[in-house]
A = this chain, B = another copy of it.
Amino acid sequence: MRTPTIRDVAKHAGVGVGTVSRVLNGSDQVREDTRKRVLEAINALGFSPNSAARQLSGGKTFTIGVVSPFFTFPSFVERLAGIQDVLDGTDYDLTLYSIRSTAQLRRRLGALMLQNRVDGLFILALPISEDETFSANPALPIVVVDDTVHVRRYPHLLIDNVRGGQMATEYLLQHGHTRLGFLGDRVDESFGFTSAQDRFKGFQNTLEAAGLPVNMNWCQFCLHGEDYARDAARDILIQPDRPTAIFAAIDTLAFGVLDAASDLGLRVPEDLAVIGFDDIQAAGFAKLTTVRQHLFQSGQRSAELMLDWLRTGHVPSENWSTVMPLEIVERSTV
């Protein structure tokens, strides 16, 4: 037996399909007893409106997409959780689009903009060409999180990476360190991430402001991953003339630094201080001192922006460009 359609319900209730539709969509233009009769028919038949048909005639899909690289990176997951958290209370489904290359990004976006698969899109930390997306479909709501390129047309949330780099560096200086190293990531360049670069800039600025030299032998940019970080950190630390503190631009890299320190028999923080960036959950496990960015909250905020846009039908003017706060979390590696 086929799954029942609105027509079956209408027949069963002895009314027209229009009436059933009205009941379904909560119109008040239906007499109470008619409504009841329809509701009963719906129940009796176990009817549930077909989503595709609804989409087709209504023009809405009730799904929102998240376009994100490396969605398994803790920082992305935590943001995703924030998004999910607020969408959970709505009718919107969340669909994941994982991106591995800029070519894939372009293809994906191109298709998504036109196919009407989603009512809106979150774009996480990816270099979109907003002119392209906008001209492809100016009506599609997009919220950009952690923009790697400067975005003008879409509301977006971001952090001040340079400032974050400063904070970490200043914290190290305050703790008496003057010999500072840096470890950043060099993700598959194509994505053009600049966050590590910016944090490094903050690092440099602060040292210079303090009249300290930036020793490039103590600075490395490695591939993303704990093992790479461990090797890179090792290279820094085996030098006879080594730094007493390292700022790792990402928590996962900081773990690599901790590994290397342990490999070399260096005590943390006595022999080597380490500060990370992000404050992912694992940072708590490892008692890593780090710069916290509020990942979960940024997910929530961006979802609220999206819902606003979807509800009102026009892009939110408030919080157009939100800079999320940063703060030092003191644990035991500095």
* Of the residues B114, B116, B252, B285, contact of A286 by C-beta under 8 Å: B285
A55 within 8 A of B: yes
A110 to B286, alpha carbons, bound, how many Å? 42
Let me know if A72 and B63 touch, CB within 8 A: no
A148 to B98, alpha carbons, bound, how many Å? 29
| CB-nearest residue of chain B to A99 | B88
14 A–B contacts from the bound complex (CB under 8 Å): A3-B116, A3-B137, A46-B114, A50-B115, A51-B55, A51-B117, A52-B53, A53-B56, A55-B55, A55-B56, A72-B78, A72-B80, A226-B285, A286-B286
Q: Of residues 221 to 272 in A, which have CB atoms within 8 Å of B's CB atoms?
A: 226, 252, 255, 258-259, 262
A96 within 8 A of B: yes
Chain B residues, CB < 8 A from A47: 114
* Of the residues B61, B137, B262, contact of A52 by C-beta under 8 Å: B61
A159 within 8 A of B: no
Known: A51-B116, A117-B93, A285-B286. A81 touches B88 (CB 8 A): no
Known: A96-B84, A98-B84, A255-B285. A111 touches B71 (CB 8 A): no
A98 to B100, alpha carbons, bound, how many Å? 24
Let me know if A98 and B93 touch, CB within 8 A: no
A122 to B306, alpha carbons, bound, how many Å? 27
Known: A51-B116, A55-B52. A95 touches B98 (CB 8 A): no
- Name, among A88, A111, A285, the residue most crowded by chain B CB atoms within 10 Å (CB to CB): A285
Chain B residues, CB < 8 A from A88: 98, 100
A14 within 8 A of B: no
Closest beta carbon of chain B to A109's beta carbon, Å: 12
| CB-nearest residue of chain B to A66 | B96
A50 to B71, alpha carbons, bound, how many Å? 27
Let me know if B285 and A116 touch, CB within 8 A: no
Let me know if A52 and B48 touch, CB within 8 A: no
Let me know if B81 and A71 touch, CB within 8 A: yes
A282 within 8 A of B: yes
A187 within 8 A of B: no
Known: A71-B81, A286-B285. A56 touches B63 (CB 8 A): no
Let me know if A3 and B114 touch, CB within 8 A: yes
Closest beta carbon of chain B to A154's beta carbon, Å: 20
A53 to B115, alpha carbons, bound, how many Å? 10
A325 within 8 A of B: no
A284 within 8 A of B: yes
Chain B residues, CB < 8 A from A94: 95-96
Closest beta carbon of chain B to A227's beta carbon, Å: 9
A49 within 8 A of B: yes
Known: A56-B56, A77-B72, A84-B96. A284 touches B48 (CB 8 A): no
A95 to B262, alpha carbons, bound, how many Å? 41
Let me know if B285 and A115 touch, CB within 8 A: no
Known: A56-B52, A114-B3. A95 touches B63 (CB 8 A): yes
Q: Of residues 275 to 298 in A, which have CB atoms within 8 Å of B's CB atoms?
A: 281-282, 284-287
* Of the residues B51, B52, B56, B96, contact of A96 by C-beta under 8 Å: B96
Closest beta carbon of chain B to A320's beta carbon, Å: 27
